[in-house]
Structure 1
C-alpha cells in the first residue's frame, strides 16, 4: 500500500512539474529569442544612424568606421551599402553571409521604417534603411550569430531540468515517507485483524502512529477485539457450566431408570424400556446442543491437515459400527490431500456426517467418502444410497432442529455447516445419482 501511495504522489508531482517546467522553459526560450532579435535590429539601427552622417550629411566616415569596428569586436558582421549596391564600408564576413547581406539590402525600399530580417544558418541578418524624410541614401546591414542565444537557452533548460530532478528526488523521498506513515499502521492493523481472525484473541493493534483516522480505527478495532474476547470467554464458560450441570443429573437419572427397569414387574417393563430410550435420546440431544455451542464459540486457528489421513482414521473408527449394521463404509482418495482447517474440525464434521449416513441408510446400503484436492480448494464428499432428502428438506437442513426427514435431531448438519464456514469453506447437499444424499464440503487448500 505504501508503494501505491508513493507512486500516486510521485506521479502527481511529475505531472505538476511537467505542466510548470515545460511552459516556463518555452517562455524563457521565446524571451531569449525575442531579445536576440530586438538586439540585432537595434544594432542595425545604430549602425544606420552613424552611417547617415557619412552618406546623407557628407561628413567623414569616422563614426561609421567606429561602429563597424565595434561590430567586429562583438563578433558581428556589418556592412553599409549605397543605393547603387556598392559597399560603403564593411567588416570581414564570410562570402555567403556577405551575399545574403547584399540581397537583403536590395530588398529595402525608400520610406521603409521596419527592419528587414532573414535567417542565414545560425546568423540573423537585419537590414535598416539609411536616410530621413523618405530619402534612401543607403542601407545598414548587421548579422549576428545565434550561438550565444542557443547556449543561454540550453543553460536555461539545463537549470530547469536540474531543478525539476532535485524536486522529484525530494518528492520521491517525501512520498515514500508519507506512504509509510499512512500504510504502516494499516499494515499492522491488518496483521492484528488476521491474527485475531485465526484465533489469537489477544491480538491488538497499536493506536499511536499514522494519521488520526487510522489511530481512531485502531482504537475501535481494539475495543471490538476486547469485547469479542470477553463474549467468547463468557460463552465458553457458559458451555462448560451447562455441560457440567446437565450431564450430571441426566447420568444419575439414567442410572435410576436402569435400576428400576431391572426390578420392574413385567407389565411395566415396556414402559421402562421406553423411558430409557427417551432418556438416551435426551442425553444425545444435550450432547448435540453442547457440540453446536462449542462449534459456535470456537475461533479456529487454521493448520495444515492431511485430510486423507483424517478421513482414513474416521473410516477405521466407524467401520465396526457399519459392519454390525450390515453396511459398507468406503474411502476414495487420489493421494495426499492437504487442507487448511482448525485442529479437530474435520474429524467432527466427518463424525457427524458418517453418523447421519449410517442412521439413514437401510441394511445392505453403502456410504462412500471421497476426497480431491486442487490448488485453492479441497473437496470432501460423503455419499450414501439411503432415502435422500427432498428439496425443501435440503434447504432447511443446516438450521438447528431442521426437519431432514431422517429422524435425527437436526443438529449434526448445523455443526458441520458452522465448522465449515468458520474455516472459510462451504457445505452443500446434492442428490446422489441413483438415489441417496451427497454432502459436499469445500475447504481451503494448504499452499
Structure 2
C-alpha cells in the first residue's frame, strides 16, 4: 500500500508539473521567437536604410564599412544587391559580385512589392537560419536590396536551456514530493503494518499483546485497536476450544474405560438372551473410546507446531503394507503395493504412518472379501508443482460426489454406513497432510470403489542434482 500511495502522490504531482511547465515552456519559446524575429527584422530595415543613403551618395567605402560593422555586431551573413538584383557585397564572399539574384523568391518579392520578406530555411554549410530581405528605397526608387541571414543557434540554445531548467525544476519538485510522500505514506500505513503483524501472529497462534498504533490517521488507529481487541477475543475462544477438546477427551477416556470393564463384568450375571445387547453396548463404548482417541489426536495436532522432516515414503508404505497384510488376510482382502520408488518426502514426524493406517483402516472396513486394496505410488515429476502421490484404492461401494465433498467434516458418516467408524479418520489424515504442506483428496476409483490420493512435497534434488533442504525445497516448489 505504501508503494501505491507513493505512486498516486507522484502521479498527481507529475500531472500538475506537466500542466504548468509545458504551457510555460511553449509560452517562453514563442515569446523568444517573436522577439527575435521582430528585433532582427528591425535591424535589417535600419541597415537597408543606411545602405540606401550611402549608395545614393556614391559612398561605396562607407557601404562596405556599414556591412562589416553590422556583420561583426550581429554575427550574421549579409548580402547587398543593387536595384536590378545583382550582388554588390557578400560578407561571406561566397557569391561573386555581379551575380543576379533577381530570380530568388525573396529578392523578387522585395523588388516587386518594396516590403520586407522573412523566411526560415536550411542553408548549405551554415545550419538553420532566419533570413530577412529588406528594400533600401525612397518613396520612388529602390536603390538596393539587403539580405541578412541570422543563425538560430543562440536562440535555440536559449530555448533548450529554458526547457532544461524547467525539467530540472520538475525533477527537484518530484524528489521533494517523493521524500514527503514516502514519509506521509509510512505514517498513513503504520497502523496497517501493525495489523499485518498482528494478523500473522494470530495465524501462528502467538499474538501476545496489542500492536503499537501510536501513529497514523485516527480512523486507522481506531481500526487497529478494534481489530486487536477482536483478535484477542478470537484467540481466546480458539484456545478455550482447544483446551476444552483436549481436557474433555482426557476426562472422558478414563470413565469410558471403566464403563467398558463394568459392562464386560456383567456378562456372567446376565441372561443369555441379553448377551447380544451387552455386546452392542460394549461396541458403542469402544466406538466412543475411539472417538475420544481421535479427538485427542486432533487436539494435539492443532496445538502443536511440528516442523516437517524428511521421510522415506517407499519404506513407510512397505512397512505399513506388511503390518496390515495379516489383519487384511483375516478378512480375505489382499494389500498390493505398486508404482516406482518415490524417495523422500516432507512430513511431520510419524505422520506418514498415521495417514496410511487411517486410510487402510477405512479401506479395509468397506472392502468385500476377495478384493484388493492397492497402494499405488506416483513420482513427483508428473505434476506441476511437483508433488509425490500415494493412492489408497479399494474395491468397496465408493462414495458419491456429495459424500466425497463432506467426507473430511468431523464426525460425518455416510447415511448408509454400516461400519463402526467415528468420522474422525479422514479429518486426521487431512490435518496431518496439511501440516506437511501437502493435500489429500478423494476420487472415484476407475473400477469402482474409492481412490484416496495423498500428495506430499518431495524432499528431492534441484535441477543440478544437489540435495534440497526444507527451505530450498519450498522455494523450488513455489517457483512452479
- TM-score > 0.5, shorter chain as reference: yes
Tell me how far apart the structure 2 counterparts of residues 113 and 129 of structure 1 sit (CA, whole Å). Answer: 7
Q: CA deviation at 1:41?
A: 0.5
Pair 1:226-2:214 in alignment: no
Q: CA deviation at 1:359?
A: 2.4
Q: Deviations over 1:12-66 (max 9, x none)?
A: 766776676566555544443333222211101222344455567x698999788
Cross-structure match for 2:111: 109
Map 1:40-119 → 2, pairs under 5 A:
40-51=40-51, 53=53, 68=67, 70-74=69-73, 75-78=75-78, 81-85=81-85, 92-96=91-95, 104-109=106-111, 112-117=114-119, 119=121
Q: CA deviation at 1:149?
A: 1.9
The verdict on how the C-alpha distance between 1:406 and 1:187 changes in structure 2, with shifts beyond 3 A counting, is farther
Q: How many residue pairs get matched?
A: 441
User: Alignment partner for residue 393 of structure 2, among 379, 383, 386?
Assistant: 383
Greater shift, 134-143 or 10-19, is seen at 10-19
Structure 2 gaps of 5+ residues are: 459-472, 475-480
Q: Deviations over 1:97-145 (max 9, x none)?
A: 9869875545413653444446444443322223454653443443333
Cross-structure match for 2:341: 334
Q: CA deviation at 1:299?
A: 6.1
User: Alignment partner for residue 370 of structure 1, among 359, 373, 376?
Assistant: 376
Tell me how far apart the structure 1 counterparts of residues 86 and 38 of structure 2 sit (CA, whole Å). Answer: 27
Pair 1:303-2:316 in alignment: no
User: Alignment partner for residue 235 of structure 1, among 203, 218, 241?
Assistant: 241
Q: Deviations over 1:324-379 (max 9, x none)?
A: 54543454562224246x66655544333222222232445433333435344343
Structure 1 gaps of 5+ residues are: none
Cross-structure match for 2:365: 359
Greater shift, 231-240 or 351-360, is seen at 351-360
Tell me how far apart the structure 1 counterparts of residues 230 and 376 of structure 2 sit (CA, whole Å). Answer: 41
CA contact (8 A) 1:124 1:145 kept: yes
Tell me how far apart the structure 2 counterparts of residues 323 and 287 of structure 1 sit (CA, whole Å). Answer: 23
Tell me how far apart the structure 1 counterparts of residues 297 and 185 of structure 2 sit (CA, whole Å). Answer: 43
Tell me how far apart the structure 2 counterparts of residues 410 and 238 of structure 1 sit (CA, whole Å). Answer: 19
Tell me how far apart the structure 1 counterparts of residues 130 and 117 of structure 2 sit (CA, whole Å). Answer: 12
Q: CA deviation at 1:307?
A: 6.7
CA contact (8 A) 2:358 2:429 kept: no
CA contact (8 A) 2:6 2:178 kept: yes
Q: Deviations over 1:368-406 (max 9, x none)?
A: 333435344343322223344466655654452332534
Cross-structure match for 1:249: 255
Secondary structure of the equivalent of 1:386? coil
Secondary structure of the equivalent of 1:109? helix
Aligned-residue CA RMSD (Å): 4.6
Q: CA deviation at 1:234?
A: 0.9
Tell me how far apart the structure 1 counterparts of residues 84 and 404 of structure 2 sit (CA, whole Å). Answer: 114
Cross-structure match for 1:405: 417
Pair 1:142-2:154 in alignment: no
Q: CA deviation at 1:230?
A: 0.7
Tell me how far apart the structure 2 counterparts of residues 76 and 432 of structure 1 sit (CA, whole Å). Answer: 96
